[in-house]
């Protein structure tokens, strides 16, 4: 097969499972069907006119599997001319996977966009370096904690919960993704009280802190909501990207008036990535596309917590977010769910210093309370970075918070 010229084309990679299919024929049907619609029946003059719009089969890798039913598959790469779609992620996704997503066992596993397409997307506004600069922390992973049991809390309850987390020495605190607009704790009211709590805690800890407030409401009003939150002192945003769409994230990130980091939450991702036969692969869904759309931090299920994603997918997401060969800032990977201090050495081993340790129950469930929970994580991070076993560090004077955490949850062996 002659290698096609891929200049000005976006390349999609599909995994197609079929025990009997002629994969070469299938690939050609995708390339033609999702672009010009038909080819062999067109007159020659019309073919000359339509050639610039025609999809191209780039490669086909067939795998026979183990002979069990459903194990035969092929990885098929198709190139789509940029001229066919506008430079926005919805147009690209509908082109490469809209109709095809309903055509049997077909999974979108990767997308390589052209230089021309990517030029419309500056990527993260802050990225890893920018977030570190805001916090003044450059030599360790960041520590994030999460509001818990937010439904039904009044402002006083949220303020106290925020204050206790901040006292623990965390770098970021984020809203729960299910904290929406309401009369009691609306975005402007909770930002005001929580940022005041951050100020009070900073007087004791000497640390800067980012508060990622959950941005919600009708899509047409999100930018106004973000500006309102920022006017009240919000210095970061949390956004349920997949519920609203990548292009909404892109517009928020690109807005010059929304000059704060944005953390992307993976809510709804489980409807799209877990199946080996359908949907969109996690590294693309939560890695490459999130970064392209402008997420400064990206949350996703960890390989060792309570919501488990296969480790190879976790590490592939990390690579997508940290790939320095791409012409945009890198994004913080935030492996999440079920994280406690005994997992910190694993997080550092697998995700490195440019990651965020994200804890909910591991902070709030600490026997000494949320402030002690944060302290236990900071002590665990310091120990792990110095190569000191957590059990050894926990026995040292002044590490009572870490000892209580190790006694409560144990230490996962590296």
DSSP states of 168-203? TT-SEEE--TT----SSS-HHHHHHHHHHHHHHHHH
Q: What is the pLDDT of residues 315-357, one digit of tens each?
A: 999 999 999 988 899 999 999 988 999 999 999 999 999 999 9
Average pLDDT over residues 110-125: 95
22 plus 137 within the same structural domain: no
Give the helix/strand (H/E) hosting 372: helix 370-385
Judge whether 118 and 16 are in contact, CB under 8 Å: no
Q: Which are the contacts of 4, defined by CB distance < 8 A and separation ≥ 6?
A: 56, 57, 58, 79
Range of the domain at 59: 9-118
Residue 326: per-residue pLDDT: 84
Pick the closest to residue 75 from 65, 64, 90, 60 (CA basis): 60
Quote the mean pLDDT of the chain: 91
Q: What is the CATH number of the domain that holds 166?
A: 3.20.20.110
pLDDT reading at 1 higher than 50: no
Average pLDDT over residues 205-210: 94
Active site residue 26: no
pLDDT reading at 43 higher than 60: no
Among 118, 142, 163, identify where a domain stops.
Answer: 118
104 plus 150 within the same structural domain: no
Q: What is the pLDDT of residues 132-145, one digit of tens each?
A: 999 999 999 999 99
Among 96, 118, 140, identify where a domain stops.
Answer: 118
Average pLDDT over residues 388-395: 96
337 plus 223 within the same structural domain: yes
Instruction: Check 20, 52, 99, 125 and give the catalytic one.
Output: 99
Among 63, 92, 118, identify where a domain stops.
Answer: 118
Residue 136: per-residue pLDDT: 96
93 plus 205 within the same structural domain: no
Phi, psi dihedrals of residue 223, rounded to the nearest 5°: -60, -40
213 plus 97 within the same structural domain: no
Percent of the chain with pLDDT over 90: 75
Spacing of C-alpha 292 from chain mean position:
11
pLDDT reading at 310 higher than 90: no
The CA-based dihedral angle spanning residues 157, 158, 164, 166, taken in that order and rounded to the nearest 10 degrees? -160
Question: Domain total for the chain?
Answer: 2
Q: Is 121 helix (H, G, I), strand (E, B) or coil?
A: coil
């Amino acid at each position: 097969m002659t290698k096609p010229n891929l200049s000005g084309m976006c390349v999609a990679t599909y995994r197609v499972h079929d025990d009997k299919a002629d994969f070469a024929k299938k690939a050609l049907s995708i390339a033609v069907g999702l672009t010009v619609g038909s080819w062999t029946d067109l007159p020659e003059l019309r073919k000359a006119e339509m050639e610039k719009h025609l999809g191209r089969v780039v490669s086909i890798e067939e795998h026979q599997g183990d002979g069990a039913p459903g194990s035969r598959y092929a990885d098929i790469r198709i190139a789509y001319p940029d001229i066919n779609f506008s430079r926005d992620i919805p147009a690209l996704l509908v082109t490469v996977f809209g109709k095809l997503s309903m055509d049997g066992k077909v999974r979108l596993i990767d997308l390589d966009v052209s230089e021309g397409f990517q030029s419309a997307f500056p990527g993260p506004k802050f990225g890893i370096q920018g977030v570190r600069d805001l916090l003044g922390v450059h030599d360790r992973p960041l520590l994030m904690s999460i509001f818990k049991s937010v439904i039904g809390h009044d402002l006083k309850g949220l303020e106290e919960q925020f204050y206790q987390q901040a006292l623990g020495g965390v770098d970021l605190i984020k809203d729960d993704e299910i904290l929406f607009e309401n009369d009691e704790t609306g975005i402007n009211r909770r930002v005001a009280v929580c940022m005041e709590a951050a100020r009070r805690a900073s007087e004791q800890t000497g640390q800067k802190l980012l508060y990622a407030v959950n941005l919600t409401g009708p899509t047409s009003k999100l930018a106004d909501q973000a500006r309102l939150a920022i006017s009240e002192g919000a210095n970061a945003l949390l956004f349920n990207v997949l519920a609203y769409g990548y292009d909404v994230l892109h517009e928020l990130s690109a807005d010059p008036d929304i000059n704060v980091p944005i953390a992307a939450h993976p809510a709804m991702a489980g409807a799209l990535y877990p199946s080996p036969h359908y949907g969109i692969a996690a590294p693309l869904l939560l890695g490459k596309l999130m970064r392209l759309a402008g997420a400064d931090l990206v949350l996703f299920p960890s390989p060792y917590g309570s919501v488990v994603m296969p480790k190879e997918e976790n590490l592939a997401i990390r690579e997508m977010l940290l790939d320095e060969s791409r012409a945009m800032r890198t994004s913080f990977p935030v492996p999440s769910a079920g994280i406690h201090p005994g997992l910190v050495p694993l997080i550092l081993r697998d995700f490195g210093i440019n990651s965020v340790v994200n804890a909910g129950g591991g902070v709030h469930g600490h026997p000494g309370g949320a402030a002690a929970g944060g302290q236990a994580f900071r002590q665990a991070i310091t120990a792990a970075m110095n190569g000191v076993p957590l059990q050894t560090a926990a026995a040292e004077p002044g590490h009572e918070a870490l000892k209580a955490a190790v006694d409560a949850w144990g230490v996962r062996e590296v």
